[in-house]
A and B are shown apart, each in its own frame.
Chain A
Amino acid sequence: ELKVEQNPLFLSMQEGKNYTIYCNYSTTSDRLYWYRQDPGKSLESLFVLLSNGAVKQEGRLMASLDTKARLSTLHITAAVHDLSATYFCAVDRGLLRTGANNLFFGTGTRLTVIP
């Protein structure tokens, strides 16, 4: 059974601090995604990680993927209040060869950045 575990589930941090969110998954996967969701809003794509060792950065966020360890991290540098949101990682369910891009989501990490 595919499992995607994120930790922590809740994170409260002060502005200017650094922190890492972890995403562990239980089976091999070709692709891993990070999404952001603001309260009452839709999901916004942040990163797509397609291979082992992939690292992507956008502003204060950096995501990496280690397929051997089945681990992805989302690192936050010098947090600002605008980063407050829920962050989800998702992996594909291994049906890409059928054309299906089915995603299995973690339960999310709710980040609150305190001024």
Chain B
Amino acid sequence: NAGVTQTPKFQVLKTGQSMTLQCAQDMNHEYMSWYRQDPGMGLRLIHYSVGAGITDQGEVPNGYNVSRSTTEDFPLRLLSAAPSQTSVYFCASSYSGLRRGNTEAFFGQGTRLTVV
């Protein structure tokens, strides 16, 4: 019963490098999203997807790209890493907001990214 799986757990990048954070869920959730967590600021939404082939920007999308080719996977790409992107990144999934009832989000274990 894997739930939401993120890789890697830790990563150090040099300024200007690119990388992809992986996220996979096995709960057949329609909705997936990426958040970043910075000290004292809670979690902020980067990008989200309501289904395969559909993505949209959240609150802080600059410097990040996403794609959703399958229901299960939702990778987050850092195009050219900057020190301001040092943060902890969480992937989350849930049933669609269109469903009645419980749409609680399930979170992955997080990726701690440091950009030097």
Binding site for B on A (CB under 8 A): 4, 31, 33, 35, 41-43, 45, 48, 50, 88, 90, 92-93, 95-108
CB-based contact B58/A102 at 8 Å: yes
Q: Is B80 an interface residue (CB 8 A)?
A: no
Instruction: Decide if A101 touches B40 in the complex (CB within 8 Å).
Output: no
New contact pairs (12) apart from A33-B105, A99-B96, CB-CB < 8 Å: A31-B103, A41-B110, A42-B90, A45-B105, A92-B97, A97-B97, A99-B30, A99-B51, A100-B48, A100-B97, A101-B95, A102-B58
Specify which of A4, A45, A90, A99 is in contact with B97 (CB 8 Å cutoff). Answer: A99
Residues in A neighbouring B108, C-beta threshold 8 A: 42
Beyond A98-B97, A102-B58, whether A48 also contacts B104 by CB under 8 A is yes
The 5 closest A-B pairs by CB, nearest first: A96-B97, A99-B50, A105-B42, A101-B97, A99-B96
Smallest distance from the beta carbon of A97 to chain B beta carbons, Å? 7
